Structure 1
Amino acid sequence: MNIPVLEVTNLQKHYAVYRGLLRREVARVKAVDGISFCVARGETLCVVGESGCGKSTVGKLILRLTPPTAGSIRLNGLDVTSLPEDELRPHRQRVQMVFQDPYASLNPKLRAGKIVGEPIENFQGIAAEEREARVTAILRKVGLRADAMKRFPFEFSGGQRQRLAIARALAVNPKLIVADEPVSALDVSVQAQVLNLLMDLQEELNVAYLFISHDLGVVEHIGHRIAVMYLGRIVEIAPKEPVFEEPLHPYTQALMNAAPVANPRQKRERLLIEGDVPSPMNPPSGCHFHTRCPFASPRCRSEEPKLREVVPGHFVACHLREDGYRGALPRSSLSSNRNPKES
């Protein structure tokens, strides 16, 4: 049996809100509200959604940088949800992270060779000469020359710093890398180089990625499967092609339609959603999206939709799809995005 690198079941993270002189708990922020997914070896699962939907919190929970409120996290079949730090340490080298800002995530006082070599020293304790050879090989693998070992982070460009951060993550041969907006701080041309590097490394090393992003163009380029989050919940999860070609959840369709296209004259129907994202401190009952959904019914306001497999491999949490309805959404709630001169 092929055990997934990562298995997440009913994961929750609630933050208590305290007020008053006595610091009494008055509410809870439901940053992550019961999500489940898995990531296979050599696979890239992209987590997308609006700001504040809980994407980055999911990454922190997977890394155990913050403890979950409920649910379970299994790495290579081992439940690490509640392991104490001394028992968790041997498993930390199997999951590493690439942060959004490469400059802030690198120690400015250390040279590149030390930055990449430190994880090897901490986890494997090999001889200095062998460690230096390993560091040189890793730097070359990510497109940096051997003389980069002697340079400080400020001496690199933004793209080179992110390559250095990727090298540090690869230093201990992880099975899973959590990448939180790893190219959003880079120029577009450099983004493509870093994305292609990540894809080449995945093919060579069979490493799995949990790729967190809000950029649908980036997600379409690198992802194998996509999980769409809204207000702490996964509302749709499926392979990349069906999500981009035929999204089944109204929120996913709105996200796809909101992405800009290269041709300004291209006619495209848009699903318009109104209003702001509700507060995670006081989320709506039933389906969290019902306050903005043009297809909401009384059932949506009272009953939470479960994530169900509507078609093979395509899971959606929407009452509209529970009875097997797979067609396009009603046209009455779609508006045509046309150039005024074409009308």
Structure 2
Amino acid sequence: MWSDETIVAFRKALLDWYDAKGRDHLPWRMNQDPYRIWVSEIMLQQTQVNTVIPYFNRFVMLFPSIRDLAEADEEVLLKAWEGLGYYSRVRNMQVAAQQVMTDYDGVFPSDPAEIIKLKGIGPYTCGAISSMAFGLPEPAVDGNVMRVFSRLFEIGDDIAKPATRKLFELLVRIVIDPDRPGDFNQAIMDLGSDICGPVNPRPEESPLREFNAAYKNGTMHLYPFKSKAKKPVVMDLHGVVVRRGNAYLMEKRPSGGLLGDFWTFPLVEEGPEDEPIGSFTHVFSHRKWRVQVHVQEADSKRELADNMKWVLEEDFPEYAFAVPQQKMWEIVKKHERKLF
């Protein structure tokens, strides 16, 4: 580990760079509101910053406070999240907001031991909120941070393993700036997403190049090490678009499964015998759907199950459509343009 003098020099180099080059234009960095920081950190999980900005602005306009989020109608909430994916995250956020209203009198807790109790908040998000909103020297270790620190110290441990994250949390605790922990964490994240990115890193531009063992030793290409994830399980499905005039048959998917509680065209494993009008592939974290799309005219005698209903095309904007539903609808509209 570094000497105390090296740690002090490291902090100064990083924070001087952050003060000059940090992304201060990001809307969630305009203040230290824990609610805004929380929303942004959940949105930023596996999503690019530029994609998140308009979603964030719209979300905090619709739900400007924890109370608004706690009391939001689910359809409106899911619509606001439409396109970001991982819808369990926004559902967990609403549960957590309800916890804050019930257990903390509507005030976001400032103790990391209490923050971590909120639904959907893990060690990384807890550390981000604790440091950025409350100025506590807590590590916020994500993929960017592990990438930067693995190169700084030539750490070859598998970053896919939870034990490795613990190692990086320990390192960050040692070197984090006690006076500006939030800025420190954000600076590392900014570095890891750009100059020290996963592809085409530019270590010669890094404010930390003189501290970077992998750069000095020519081993940048070896770090970080991550074992390959298991391939998602493939499922072949049929999307059956049943039309009755200007209305379409929609079904609400079961709670708890993929796309739980979303409305979609019926998705079945055994499809119709007619030719599909198109197909698409959609990859979840552990599933890969290969979907063939069919169009049928409604049978006037068809009885609907409790989770089905007819929805007019003009009412589609009122529904939160997950990406697979959007892809099915795009195929239908493309097919109709070919016909007419």
Q: TM-score, normalised by structure 2?
A: 0.27
Which structure has more helix as a fraction of its residues? 2
Which structure has more strand as a fraction of its residues? 1
Q: TM-score, normalised by structure 1?
A: 0.27
